[in-house]
Structure 1
Amino acid sequence: MTCSGMRNRRIDLLRGISILLVLLHHFNIAYRLDDTFLSRVFGWETVRAVARNGNYGVTMFFVISGYLITANVIRRWSEPGHVDVRAFYGLRIARIVPCLLLLLAVVNALAMAGIAIFQNHSPDGAPVSFWLVNLASLTFWMNVLIGAHGWTNYALGVLWSLSVEEVFYLSFPLLCLAFRREAWLVAFWLACIVVGPIYRFFHQGDEGGYLYAYFACFDAIATGCCVALLARRFVWRGRAQSVSAWLTAAGITFVYLSCPIRESNVFGVTVMAFGTAVLLLAAHDHPAGPTIRRASASTVLEGFGRLSYELYLFHLIVLGLLRTIFSPSGVAGDEKLALLVGYLLLSAWLSASIARIYAEPLNRIVRQWLVPRRSRSGSECYERNQPDVEHPQSRIVNGLSDRS
């Protein structure tokens, strides 16, 4: 069975839900859905509640990322303290950098072509050069730049979450080797979990602090790391698993819908992170299966989950072009829903094309350059969130993060 043939579909589903929340959030910012059929049927308050908290989708991504990174380190090297630093960084570069470079090339080209929405803006009144934006993107401090100057570049602003993840993972293998003992590593991650809500509490009113700062987000990634270690020792099956998963899903749905993230972020992020962790525990021992090619809501969401990294990076290019062609001020009513469908379809098509034609081939090439041969086996499973399958009937151990 090939690596791409078997996946943990529950984790794909979680990732699909997460990325869809982000996509809906950004679309609603551009084309407010208050006068559409959805608002007439369900009410604007309901539609707004679904669309306003896309950043909680990123929180879910962070947890899934930490879980899958740690689970694959365990799968590959048996213990975090045995991690091969060169292989770890090589796998991260192979997965992250090709798409990042393509995104920068496309956005820079569109800006130089004179398309206003892709050029830099100055929300705080201080102009920021493309050199600085590109540097922040490549060296993973876009979140710091946004905190200082606002959302300077429309399409590149999404790189704030990649900055958070990659700074966390820059230290990940070094901490594994430094601590050696799993207990010390867990203690460090628990400290991150405690610091997160405290940091957010002291940065209320500062969006760059409570949403985008490293210490405002590390707790979600650390939660995922801890749950991957817990999953090795915790076997959870049967009715209790199912009931707990459904109750957890209901709980985080309530938190998501109840109030805006600017009001609930202090402990809301923690609740969303812990809830996602419970759902990952429920999914951990779930048998993986082949991708089923049939039309259903869950299958569509799983497809979005498989493309979540590419979708996250490139969806604002699609939305930015739509905003350029169809000015939000000139679109009203159910025309917005038609644009929403087109936006989702075009984003999915673009992301699938990039993954198939560009990202996956380059991923394999870069791994051959950077990853030692002894660590290369199964690395595509590691980087694409796919399981390492010993036998079609064997227990599945899942594989790694995509961005947020």
Structure 2
Amino acid sequence: MSIAQRNARIDVLRGVSILLVLFHHFNIAYPLKDTVPATIFATPVVQAIARNGNYGVTIFFVISGYLMTANTLRRWGRLDAIDARRFYALRAWRILPCMFLLLAMVSLLAALGGTLFQNRGFGEPPLPMWMTALASLTFWMNVLIAQHGWVNYPLGVLWSLSVEGVFYLAFPVVCLTLRRPLFIGAFCLLFIVAGPLYRLAHQGDEGGFLYAYLACFDGIAIGCCTAILVARGTHPWISTRWLQCMTILAMALLYLCWPISRSNVLGVTAMALGTALLLAGASGKTVAARSAGYSFLAFCGGLSYEIYLFHLIVLGLMRTAIPPITASSEVKLGLLAGYLICSLGVACAVARFFSRPFNPLARE
């Protein structure tokens, strides 16, 4: 999506999602449960926000499916008119340059002796760097993680790119084969039904219920179906303030009240459907920022891909310089602020000098 065509409300939703992911990863690196009771980190609400960052990725999946389908309809008018070669080229120009940069940075830091940037074995010989790089570029990092654990700290984020990448590869084939939106929607419905069933069958296996293809495809499929329905016209009640507010409230309650380890079977589906309602309500609306907070969230959403890819490099360097065991509650507050600022700064630099020059045609 070009900068002129960006939807501020969708960017705000992306901004919320990426900040949830960042906070979740900070909590893993510097556990907030170890802070003293007098700090804000010790409050139940903050603890609940920190534990469920994977739901932020669920929201991303729905947005990806929605934009992939909506932009296909915008560019070619019909799903069965998709130009597969151009679709793949646009996706490659958006995804691969930043991924190559990430792999180069991680490899350099590993060669310089950074332990957190090297592959780890967890009781078995570490996998070679070429294998994690290959898994990253060919979209099976999630499979590698399920089989061998978190083999490389900063490259772990690429599990979600693997899920999206496989769906991207299949999307033009499905559109050109099934052709009619009804059949394409029915195909997506298979994944929507299979998702909770797969998660139910893999309870107790984090690599299964959180990171496997079939555990995540339902979110992207829900996004695709939402775009198809929006293209056919939506009823005005979908964008009414009361429905949007009730949807946000329900998503917030789901997020805060149950850990994803217990709520994932239907929770992921519910979070995805809530996101779909928000997207349907935001369709066609390019509302200008109404407050500093709104502007900040939209800004983060516009940089969400760069933030997501590179924030663990910032956190890895921080963990190397200040080991979590040595960080007091007061130090953690300063580290969190520095981590967020540096992650945004790195993302801005990557976008300004690298990803946008490589990607003049599409920003999805």
Structures share fold, TM-score greater than 0.5 = yes
Deviation at 1:32, TM superposition (A): 1.6
- Counterpart residue identity of residue 230, structure 1: L
Q: Distance in 2 between matches of 1:38 and 1:348?
A: 29
Partner of 1:387: none
What is the one-letter code of the residue matched to 1:338?
A: G
Which residue number in structure 2 is paired with residue 107 of structure 1? 106
1:133 and 2:132 matched: yes
CA offsets per residue over residues 345-378 of structure 1, 9 Å max, x none? 10001001100101111123xxxxxxxxxxxxxx
Map Cα deviations across residues 211-245 of structure 1 (whole Å, 9 max, x no partner): 11000000000000000011123334369621111
Match of residue 352 from structure 1: 348
Query: Which residue number corresponds to residue 278 of structure 1?
Result: 277
List aligned pairs for 1:161-172, cutoff 5 A: 161-172=160-171
Match of 1:304 among 300, 304, 307: 300
Report matched runs for 1:247-286 at 5 Å: 247-286=246-285
Please say if 1:55 is aligned against 2:42: no
165-174 or 235-244, which deviates more: 235-244
Q: Which residue of 1 aligns with 2:82?
A: 83
Amino acid across the alignment from 1:333: S
1:337 corresponds to which residue?
333
Q: Who is 2:16 aligned against?
A: 17
The 1-side partners of 2:238 and 2:170 are apart by: 39
* C-alpha displacement of 1:39: 6.3
CA RMSD of aligned residues (A): 1.8
Give the Cα–Cα distance (whole angstroms) in 1 for the partners of residues 254 and 203 of structure 2: 18
Structure 1, gaps ≥5 residues long = 365-379, 385-399
Residue deviations 1:306-344 (CA, integer Å, cap 9, x gap): 000000000000000000111111111121111101100
Corresponding position of 1:32: 31
TM-score by length of structure 1 reads 0.87
**Using the alignment, how far apart are the partners of 1:308 and 1:288 within structure 2?**
19
Q: Which runs of 4+ in 1 moved over 6 A?
A: none
Structure 2-normalised TM-score?
0.96
Distance 1:111 1:197, change over 3 A: same
- Paired with 2:237 and 2:228, the residues of 1 have a C-alpha distance of 21
1:233 maps to 2:229: no
Are positions 1:201 and 2:197 aligned together?
no
Pick closer, same or farther for the CA change 1:119–1:240 going to 2, 3 Å. Answer: closer
- Structure with greater helix percent: 2
1:7, CA displacement in angstroms?
2.6
Q: Are the aligned partners of 1:16 and 1:305 in contact in 2 as well (CA < 8 Å)?
A: yes
Give the Cα separation in 2 of the matches to 1:31 and 1:42: 11
Seen in structure 2, the aligned counterparts of structure 1 residues 186 and 259 have a Cα distance that, compared at 3 Å, is same
1:361 alignment partner, one of 341, 351, 357: 357
Corresponding residue of 2:96: 97
Mapped to 2, the partners of 1:159 and 1:39 lie a distance apart of 36
Contact 1:236 1:281 in 2 (8 A): no
What SS is found at the alignment partner of 2:240? helix
Contact 1:121/1:153 (<8 A) preserved: yes
Q: 1:20 to 1:39 in 2, by over 3 A?
A: farther
Check the 8 A contact 1:36/1:337 in 2, yes or no: no
1:123-159 deviation digits (Å, cap 9, x = unpaired): 3534211121111011110000000001110000100
Larger mean Cα displacement after TM superposition, 155-164 or 330-339: 330-339
Residue aligned with 1:151, SS: coil
Percent pairwise identity = 53
Q: Work out the CA distance in 2 between the residues paired with 1:211 and 1:226.
A: 22
